[in-house]
Amino acid sequence: MDQPQLRTLEATCIQEESPQCSAACPIHIDVRAFMGCLAKEDWRGARRVLDRTMPFADIVGRICDEPCRIACKRAEIGDPLAVGSLERFCVSTVPMVLKQPKLPAKGGSVAVIGSGLSAMTAALDLARKGRNVVMMTGDEEVGGSLRGYAEEILPARVLSGAVETLDSYGVNIQFGCSLNKEFFDIVRQDSDAVFFDRDCAGLAALSIDCTHPDPLTLAVGNDGCFAGGGTTENGFSIMKQVEDGRRASLSIERYLQKVSLTAQREREGSCQTRLHTVTIGIEPLKEVLPADPAAGFTKQEAAREASRCIQCECKECVKQCAFLQEFTDYPKRVARKIYNNQAIVQGTRTANKMINSCMLCGQCTVICPHDFPMAEVCRTTRENMVAKSTMPPSAHEFALQDMEFSLGEFSAMARHQPGLDSSRYLFYPGCQLAGSAPETVEQTYLHLTRHLDGGVGLMLGCCGIPAQWSGRQELFGQTMQTFQTEVRKLGDPLIITACSSCYAVFKEFAPELEVQSLWQILDKGELPEQKTAPPQQLLTIHDPCTVRHEPEIRASVRSILKKIGIATAEQPYSGELTDCCGYGGLMQFANVPLGEKASRAKGLRSDLDGLAYCAMCRDNLAASGRRIAHLLDYLFPAGGQEDPLLRPNPGFSGRHENRARLKQHLLTTLWQEEPTMPPEYKDIKLFIDAQVMVLMNKRHILEDDLQKVIFQAEQSGRRLIDPENGHFLASFKPVRVTYWVEYQPDKQGFVIHNAYSHRMILPGDVK
C-alpha cells in the first residue's frame, strides 16, 4: 500500500467527518465538543471551543441564529438541541479563555469599508494573519445593524469590547469617513485589496457595484475588491455576516499571495457531511427549558440540556466488531497504523498482532455506508509481509499445522462411492466438521449415496483457507492445485460442501468447478426419516460469516428447519450482518483472548439456545458456554447423543483424533481397505484432567505433541524428576516449537499434570 492508496482508503472512512451541526454552521463551530464540555460542567472548556472558531464570541454567541439547530440529529427523535441558548449562556457566564495569536506582519494593506459584523470579522481575521488593516466607516461607532439589538440582548459594553479587540490586533478604525467616489479612488490606490460590508448604508455612493458578489470568492467589479454581508433575499442573518467576513478574508489572503481564489474551497460555509449517525435506540428526551426564560439557563439547566447531545459519530462497524473494539480504533486509523507498520525498515513492528487479529469476515464492510474494505486491507497486508519475510510465522503456525494434518496421510482421502468407478457428485464435508462430528459426516454421506443417482464420491481434507487467511499465498495455491487435481481424477463431479468456508473458497478460487451447498441439496431432495426429535423451545440461528453474501444457502437452511419442525427466531445480527465466531482470519490462533471474546459476543446476540450450520461456529460457541447444536445433529444424530444442544466442544486434540478415526473407520467399513498405520508414539495412552485440557487448548498444545515428548523422553531417558512429587519433566522440539510436559507414569499410561511450549532457542539447540 503506497501513500496515494492509503489516502484513497482513508477517505472511505467517514468517522472523522463533521457532525451535521458543525457542517451546517457557516464557520464550523465544533458543536459536539462544545456540548461535551457543558455536559461535564467544564465551562472554560466550552468557552475555549467558541473562542477557537467564533469571531467576537461575546457578540455572536448572544445573537447566533443557530442554523445548526435545524441540522441536529436529535430532531429525528424529538427536540433538537438549544444550541443558541447554550452559546448565550456560555458567553454571558464565562469571559474569554482563548485569544488567538497574531502572526508576524507580512505586508499587504487591506481596506475594510463599513463597520458591520461582516466588516469586523474580515478585519479581525486579516489582522490576525499579519496584514495591515484599516477599517473605514461613515458611522461614529462599530456594529452596523448590530446596534439595533436591545440592550438586554446585546449590551453596548460588548460592542465596545469588540473595538478593543480590533485595536489589540492593530486594526486602524477610522470613523466619520465621507463615502463617495473620490474617497473610493483614494482608498483603492492606497490599498492592495478592499472589502465592502454591504451592511454599510453609504456604499451606494461609491463607484462600484457590490450587489452581486461571486458566491464562492465574494469578488466584485475591480480587481482586488470583495463584498459581503448585509441583507440578502433570505433576509438578515447573523451567521451570514460572519460567514461572508471570513470568506472574504480568505479570498483576500489568497489574492495577496497570488494563488487561486477558487481551489479547494468546497468545505467553506455550510456544507454537506458524509457522517452517518444512527439514532435508532436513542432515548428521545425533551428540550430543557430555563425556569426563567428572560434570565436564560442556569448552570444546572445548561448542563442538562447539553447532556442531551448524542455526540454524533459513525463507528457503526466498531459497535459490532470485536476486532475493532479490542484495538479501540476505527478503520481509517487502523489503516494508517497498518501502513506505518509496513513502512518500518528497522525496528519493532508493533501492529503485527493487530493485523493478524482481524477475522477477515467482512461484517464491517457490509455495515459501513461506504463499504470500507477492512478485511481486504488486513489480508493483503499479511500476504505482503509474508512475501517480504517480515511476518513472524508464530501467529498462524498452529493453524497451518492443523491444516497440514488434515491434508496428510492420516486424515485425507478421496474415493468413488464403494462399488462404483465414477462419481456424479463429490461430498466434501471439510476438515472442521470431520473433526467435530465424524459420525455425523458418515451418516450424511450414506444418506447422499442413497438418494443421489450417479454415484457420490467422498473427499476428506482441507480447502486451504488457513493458508489464504495467513497470507501464505504459495501454500494456498499449492493446496488448491492439489485439490483440483484430485477432483479431476474423480471425473469433475459436482462438489457438495457441508462447510460454508469451503464453499466460498471453491466458488472464488476454482470457479470452473461446479459447487453446491449441502443445505441446497438436502432442501431440494429427501430428508432422513429418522431424526432427533426437535427441541420444544425456540432456537436462534447463528449464520456463519462465510454465507454473508449467500442468501440462497441461508434460505435453504431455514427451509429445512421448517420441514423438520424446529422453531427458530431471528436475531438482529444474522444474515448479511452476522458475526464471525472467532475462527475467521485465524483470530483465535493469533489472539487467543480476542478469539474467545468474539465467540462470546456471537453467542450473546440472543438469550435463546442456538443452532449453527458451521462446525466451527458450533464448537466455538459451545466452548464459550452456550447451549448450541449443529443442524446435522438433528438430521443425522450420532449414536449415544441424547441432546444435541449439550454436545461439548471436542477441542484441538479431539478434532485431530476424530479426523484420523473417521478416515480409518470409513476405509475399513465402506471401502474394505487397510487403514494407514499410526506412528509408534500414538500407542502412548494419556490421562488428562479437564482443567489441563482447557489449558492445552488455550496454549495450542495437542495430545499428539505430548505423546511425542513422552515417547522421546521414555526412549532416551532424557528427562528431569521433581524429588518432591516424583513428577517427570521432559521436552521435545519437533520443528520450531519446544513442548514441555510434566507427567507421571501410571500402570495404564501417563498422567499429565501440566504442559507448555515456547519458541526460545536454547544453547543446546545451536549446532
The reply to whether 215 falls in a domain is yes
Confidence label for 764 from pLDDT (cuts 50, 70 and 90): low
Q: What is the pLDDT of residue 751?
A: 95
pLDDT of 346 over the 90 cut: no
Gap between the Cα atoms of 604 and 600, Å rounded: 6
Q: What is the pLDDT of residue 181?
A: 84
Mean residue pLDDT of the chain comes to 93
Average pLDDT over residues 644-669: 91
Long-range Cβ pairs for the range 220-226 (8 Å, 24+)? 220/196, 222/188, 224/188, 224/191, 224/192, 224/193, 224/194, 224/255, 225/188, 225/193, 225/194, 225/195, 225/196, 226/193, 226/194, 226/195, 226/196, 226/251, 226/252
Q: 154 and 218 in one domain?
A: yes
The reply to whether 672 falls in a domain is no
State the CB neighbour count (10 A cutoff) for residue 344.
12
Q: What is the pLDDT of residue 761?
A: 65
Q: 518 and 469 in one domain?
A: yes
The reply to whether 270 falls in a domain is no
Q: Give pLDDT tens digits for 285-335.
A: 999 999 999 999 999 999 999 999 999 999 999 999 999 999 989 999 999
Query: Into how many domains does the chain fold?
Result: 6
Residue 287's CATH number: 1.10.1060.10
Q: 214 and 113 in one domain?
A: yes
Q: 114 and 245 in one domain?
A: yes
Cβ-based neighbours of 35, under 8 Å, separated by 6 or more: 81, 86, 306, 309, 311
H/E element, 753? strand 750-758
The reply to whether 635 falls in a domain is yes
Instruction: Out of 371, 392, 413, pick the residue that ends a domain.
Output: 392
Q: What is the pLDDT of residue 698?
A: 86
Gap between the Cα atoms of 445 and 417, Å rounded: 10
pLDDT of 762 over the 70 cut: no
H/E element, 731? strand 728-732
Q: 488 and 418 in one domain?
A: yes
Q: 486 and 360 in one domain?
A: no
Q: Give pLDDT tens digits for 534-558.
A: 898 999 999 999 999 999 999 999 9
Q: 321 and 288 in one domain?
A: no
Q: What is the pLDDT of residue 250?
A: 97
Q: 47 and 24 in one domain?
A: yes
Q: 360 and 300 in one domain?
A: no
Q: Measured at the alpha carbon of residue 115, what is the angle toward residues 109 and 119, in degrees to the nearest 5?
A: 55
Gap between the Cα atoms of 691 and 394, Å rounded: 25
Q: What is the pLDDT of residue 767?
A: 47
Name the phi and psi angles at 678, rounded to 5.
-70, 160
Written as one string, the DSSP assignment of 313-342 is ---HHHHH-HHHHHTT--HHHHHHHHHHHH
Q: Give pLDDT tens digits for 203-224.
A: 877 878 888 999 999 999 878 9
The reply to whether 734 falls in a domain is yes
Average pLDDT over residues 560-577: 94
Residue 739's CATH number: 3.30.2310
The reply to whether 7 falls in a domain is no
Q: 174 and 124 in one domain?
A: yes
Q: 290 and 351 in one domain?
A: no
Domain containing 374 equals 316-392
The reply to whether 610 falls in a domain is yes
Q: 657 and 636 in one domain?
A: no
What's the predicted TM-score (pTM) here?
Answer: 0.85
Q: Give pLDDT tens digits for 692-723.
A: 998 998 888 999 899 999 999 999 999 999 99
What residues pair up with 630 in beta bridges, in sequence order? 612
- Sole residue written with cell 461575546: 58
Gap between the Cα atoms of 698 and 398, Å rounded: 12
pLDDT of 66 over the 60 cut: yes
The reply to whether 511 falls in a domain is yes
Of residues 757 and 417, more confidence is placed in 417
Average pLDDT over residues 356-384: 95
